[in-house]
Amino acid sequence: MSKELFDTFKLKCGAELKNRVLMAPMTIQAAYFDGSVTSEVIDYYQFRAGGASAIIVESCFVEDHGRGFPGAIGIYTDEKISGLKWLSQTIQSKGSKAILQLYHAGRMANPKFNGGEQPISASPIAALRPDAVPPREMTRVQIKQMIEDFGEATRRAIEAGFDGVEIHGANTYLLQQFFSPHSNRRQDEWGGSREKRTYFPVEILKKVQSVVNEHGVQDFIIGYRFSPEEIEERGIHFEDTMYLLNTLAEYEPDYFHISVNSYKRTSIVNQEDTEPLIQKYRRSQSTQLAKIPLIGVGSIAQREDAVDALEIGYDLLSIGLFSRA
């Protein structure tokens, strides 16, 4: 079956996208120091909403010390709901659905932007970047609280009128840190084997879904973003990612969203492997994973790129830098 770029597309939850194009989440660092929405944030999204079927609003931190950068948007208290409602209504008034990306930066949370707090992560392994601060290993209590924080953030997104949330499991942030054998060296129920390293992402997804169900929200979109590989030694390989996605697929999120710089990207771990990751994905997917739409991204600048991306295996497309021009 051919995929037309401007066909409508219905997700499992019942939400209908008016076309196959979404705007990718891109950090603009325009919020107040406490994460509150500013008029600059509103202007940015108002200008870009309308053409895309949905706007995925940039990473929104779910806990007060979870910022990955200054000027990030926050959703860690009920006080943030009114500003976020302003944002969702602005996007929707232009004809696009509003999806809010939820995240915690984990060990990527610089103390300078988080009240001097030492970052937290699965294990006390510093990020491989200059001047990275070694994180504190999260206790079992902190892990369970973080799962609740994602649940509360979902509730606030619902109350703020968003059409959905995207769980940010990519770009080396906390969920990816738990799945990565590089950053997760735990030997308890939250780490060790590949199976145990999936528990945290799975529990986050289950919590988000339970909150949506508790609130009886119709057509609420739940997506999950992932990075397919890591360059770190003992990092995530593509086969690991497929294990994670095949596991998450059993809980039936509405979509998966790959995070890469080119929709045709090949392996960054094995430079001799020239097969595009999308082809590996389709070859390795379970029957259940095959039912879940995959959003492609990266270097989609012209209509020809978009058509090609759909033809080689993506179901939906998110446009990044070219939607900022």
User: Would you give the distance in Å from CA 272 to the centre of its chain?
Assistant: 29
Q: Sign of the C-alpha dihedral, residues 268, 270, 272, 274?
A: negative
Output the pLDDT for position 2.
73
**Contact by Cβ (8 Å): 63, 76:** yes
| Residue 173 bears catalytic tag | yes
Contact indicator for 140, 199 with CB cutoff of 8 Å:
no
Q: Find out whether 184 and 244 touch, Cβ atoms under 8 Å.
A: no
State the catalytic residue, choosing from 44, 45, 103, 173: 173
Taking CA atoms, 207 is separated from 154, 212, 234, in Å, by 9, 9, 29
The backbone region for 27, taken as left when phi is positive above 0, alpha when psi lies in -120 to 50, beta otherwise, is: beta
Residue 268 in this model has a pLDDT that exceeds 70: yes
Q: What is the pLDDT of residues 125-149, one digit of tens each?
A: 999 988 899 999 999 999 999 999 9
Give me 260's structure tokens: 């890469």
pLDDT tens, position by position, 208-259: 999 999 999 999 999 999 999 999 999 999 999 999 999 999 999 999 999 9
Percent share of the chain, pLDDT over 90: 96
* Domains by residue range for the chain, with CATH: 9-319 (3.20.20.70)
Residue 154's alpha-carbon distances to 35, 308, 316, in angstroms, are 16, 34, 23
Say whether pTM exceeds 0.85: yes
Tell me which residue of 56, 19, 13 sits closest to 316, measured CA to CA. 19
Q: Which residues of 234-247 are buried (b: 16+ CB within 10 A; e: fewer)?
A: ebbbbebbbbbbbb
First to last CA, the chain: 33
- What does the pLDDT look like over 58-111, one tens digit per residue? 999 999 999 999 999 999 999 999 999 999 999 999 999 999 999 999 999 999
**Is the pLDDT reported for residue 15 higher than 90?**
yes
Q: State how beta strands 164-169 and 97-103 pair.
A: parallel
